[in-house]
C-alpha cells in the first residue's frame, strides 16, 4: 500500500517547482488547514457544545447569524492574524476588512473567507463548509479596501472544506483540483482525490424551486425544459437536488457533474444576486473552472468581474460545461 500524501507534503512538492519560493504560501495554507480542523471539531460536537441556534444578531448582509457563524469566524481570524503571512482579511461575517494588529508582522497575501457556508443547515445536521480565497497583497503594510478588489482570475489559491460524514478539503492553486480527506487518526488532511474533473454532461440540476416565479426568462426556460424530461426538447429525464449549502452543491458537481443555479431574483434586482462574489462565487468558480467546468452570471464569466465592494453579490450559474453553456446561450438569445 502506498503511503498517503499529506496536504503539507503536496504543497511543498508544488513549491519546489517554483523558483525563489519563500514558503510563506505553504505556511499560510497550513494555517488555514489548522483552522478548518478546529471548525470541523466545533461542528461535529453539535448540540453537545451548547452552540447551536441563533446568536440573535445579524451580519453585514442582514442575515441572522448562528452562534457557530461567530465562533467559526473567530477561529479563522485567530488562526491567521498573527502568522505574518497576511496583510489583511475579509469575512462574510464582518462589515469592513479585518486589520492585522500592529504588533504582528504583515505578509504579502490576502485571505477572504466564508467561515461557515450553509449555516442554516447546522441545526438540522446537514452539510456545511468553509470557503476561502487567497490573493496577492502589498507586503509589509495593512491592506486597504482597494487591495481586495481584484477579479477572481487573479486568485492565487481557492478552496473549500466540507464538514460531512468525512471532512474534505478541495483545493486549487491554478494547476487543477485536488481533494484531501481529514484522517482523524493522525490529524492530517491526506490526498484522496487527485486531479478532479467534472463530467461535461449530466442529468442533475440544483436550484431553489420556491423562487421560480421570480427568475428571469432564460432560467425559467432552462428549468422548464429539464422538468419536461424525456418528453421535452432535452429528450432525457433530470434529477433535482437542493442542499442550501454551496459547498455541498459544488462537491456533488465535482464528483457527478450537473449544474447549480442561484440566478438573479426579480424581488431585489438592486442587490445583483444572492451569493457573494469575493468569498463564495470567485473561489468556487475558480475551482469549478480548474476542474473543466464553467461559472457564469448568465451574462459574463464570473472570474472576469471587477469587484466594486467586498460584499458584492452576483447571480451564479456553474457546473458541467455543456449545461452552463446552454443557460448562457439562452441569456444571449433573450
Judge whether 321 is annotated as a binding position.
no
Judge whether 239 is annotated as a binding position.
no
Question: For residue 35, what is its C-alpha cell?
Answer: 483552522
Judge whether 92 is annotated as a binding position.
yes
Beta strands in the chain (DSSP E): 54-58, 64-66, 86-91, 109-117, 128-136, 157-163, 167-172, 177-183, 188-193, 204-206, 239-241, 259-262, 275-276, 294-296, 313-314, 316-319
Are 203 and 237 spatial neighbours (Cβ–Cβ below 8 Å)?
yes
Task: Tally helices (H) and strands (E) across the chain.
Answer: 8, 16
> Burial, 222: exposed, middle or buried (Cβ in 10 Å; 0-12, 13-18, 19+)?
buried
Judge whether 208 is annotated as a binding position.
yes
Which residues have C-beta within 8 Å of that of residue 177, sequence separation ≥ 6?
170, 171, 195, 196, 197, 254, 287, 290, 291
Question: For residue 72, what is its C-alpha cell?
Answer: 467559526
Other C-beta atoms lying within 10 Å of the C-beta of residue 301 = 16
Judge whether 87 is annotated as a binding position.
no
Judge whether 78 is annotated as a binding position.
no
Judge whether 245 is annotated as a binding position.
no
Which residues have C-beta within 8 Å of that of residue 324, sequence separation ≥ 6?
259, 293, 294, 295, 296, 317, 318
d(Cα 314, Cα 305) in Å, to the nearest integer? 10
Q: How many residues does the chain have?
A: 334
Q: What DSSP assignment string belongs to 253-280?
A: HHHH--EEEE---TTSGGG--SEEIIII
Judge whether 20 is annotated as a binding position.
no
Are 117 and 130 spatial neighbours (Cβ–Cβ below 8 Å)?
yes
Residues annotated within the binding site are 92, 114, 116-120, 208, 274, 280
Annotated binding residues for Mg(2+), written as ranges, equal 92, 114, 116-117, 280
- Binding-site members for substrate are 117-120, 208, 274
Amino acid at each position: 500500500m502506498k503511503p498517503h500524501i499529506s496536504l503539507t507534503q503536496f504543497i511543498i512538492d508544488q513549491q519546489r517547482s517554483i523558483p525563489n519560493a519563500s514558503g510563506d504560501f505553504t505556511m499560510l495554507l497550513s494555517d488555514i488547514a489548522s483552522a478548518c480542523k478546529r471548525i470541523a471539531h466545533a461542528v461535529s460536537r453539535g448540540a453537545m457544545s451548547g452552540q447551536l441556534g441563533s446568536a440573535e444578531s445579524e451580519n453585514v448582509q442582514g442575515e441572522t447569524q448562528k452562534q457557530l457563524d461567530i465562533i467559526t469566524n473567530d477561529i479563522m481570524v485567530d488562526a491567521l492574524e498573527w502568522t505574518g503571512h497576511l496583510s489583511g482579511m475579509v469575512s462574510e461575517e464582518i462589515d469592513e476588512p479585518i486589520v492585522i494588529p500592529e504588533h504582528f508582522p504583515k505578509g504579502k497575501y490576502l485571505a477572504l473567507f466564508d467561515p461557515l457556508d450553509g449555516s442554516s443547515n447546522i441545526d438540522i445536521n446537514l452539510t456545511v463548509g468553509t470557503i476561502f480565497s487567497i490573493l496577492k497583497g502589498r507586503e509589509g503594510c495593512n491592506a486597504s479596501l482597494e487591495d481586495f478588489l481584484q477579479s477572481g482570475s487573479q486568485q492565487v489559491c481557492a478552496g473549500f472544506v466540507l464538514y460531512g460524514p468525512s471532512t474534505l478539503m478541495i483545493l486549487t492553486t491554478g494547476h487543477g483540483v485536488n481533494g484531501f480527506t481529514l484522517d482523524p487518526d493522525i490529524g492530517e488532511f491526506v490526498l484522496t482525490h487527485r486531479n478532479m474533473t467534472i463530467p461535461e454532461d449530466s442529468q442533475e440540476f440544483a436550484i431553489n424551486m420556491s423562487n421560480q416565479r421570480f427568475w428571469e426568462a432564460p432560467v425559467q426556460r432552462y428549468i422548464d425544459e429539464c422538468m419536461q424530461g424525456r418528453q421535452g426538447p432535452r429528450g432525457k429525464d433530470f434529477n433535482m437536488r437542493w442542499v442550501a449549502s454551496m459547498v455541498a452543491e459544488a462537491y456533488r458537481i465535482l464528483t457527478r457533474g450537473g449544474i447549480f443555479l442561484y440566478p438573479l431574483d426579480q424581488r431585489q434586482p438592486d442587490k445583483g444576486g444572492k451569493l457573494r462574489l469575493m468569498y463564495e462565487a470567485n473561489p468556487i468558480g475558480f475551482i469549478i473552472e480548474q476542474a473543466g467546468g464553467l461559472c457564469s452570471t448568465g451574462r459574463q464569466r464570473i472570474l472576469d468581474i471587477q469587484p466594486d465592494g467586498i460584499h458584492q453579490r452576483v447571480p451564479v450559474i456553474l457546473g458541467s460545461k455543456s449545461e452552463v453553456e446552454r443557460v448562457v446561450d439562452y441569456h444571449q438569445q433573450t
